[in-house]
């Protein structure tokens, strides 16, 4: 991560495999290429590898929050089942995105508030 960038953590609730699907989607977005990495918890005793828990996305200024919000909105709108994404900062502030009728502009504002250190007002729907 370069100076001026922040890391946001994305977690997905819903059917299994959704987080991997989101990771693939974000990695193909030009504005986010090279900025998305998986976070896996350490393997439990007897397991060969840890589970994919979250995605870490390095974002900075210059509209990166809007790029991420648009990608998330498009990805959510193409899912057939209920999905919820939680976007979290390193200091624990969060925005929850409900897959039912997500508003890309409201999501972009919420992500920008997280990036700017302001408290997000409510949750994006």
Q: pLDDT (tens digit, 0 to 9) for every residue of the chain, 125 residues total?
A: 556 678 899 999 877 788 999 999 999 999 898 999 998 767 777 777 666 789 999 987 667 888 898 899 889 888 766 788 999 998 899 999 887 777 888 888 888 888 887 644 444 44
pTM over 0.85: no
For 57, half-sphere exposure in the C-beta direction (CA atoms, 13 angstrom radius) is: 32
Q: Quote the CA–CA distance of 96 and 113 in Å, as a whole number.
A: 13
Q: List strand residue ranges (DSSP E) for 1-125, in order.
A: 6-13, 36-40, 52-59, 84-89, 94-98
Residues 59 and 115 sit within 8 Å (Cβ to Cβ): yes
Q: Cα 50 to chain center, whole Å?
A: 20
| Rounded distance between C-alpha atoms, residue 70 and residue 104, angstroms | 6
């Amino acid at each position: 991560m370069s100076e001026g960038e922040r890391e946001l953590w994305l977690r997905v609730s819903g059917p299994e495999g959704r987080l991997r699907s989101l990771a693939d989607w974000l990695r193909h977005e030009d504005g986010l290429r090279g900025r998305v990495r998986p976070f896996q918890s350490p393997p439990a005793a007897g397991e060969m590898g840890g589970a994919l828990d979250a995605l870490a996305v390095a974002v900075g200024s210059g509209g990166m929050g809007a790029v991420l919000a648009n990608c998330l909105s498009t990805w959510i709108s193409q899912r057939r089942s209920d999905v919820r994404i939680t976007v979290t900062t390193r200091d624990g502030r969060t925005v929850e995105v409900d897959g039912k009728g997500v508003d890309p502009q409201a999501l972009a504002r919420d992500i920008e508030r997280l990036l700017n250190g302001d408290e997000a007002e409510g949750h994006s729907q």
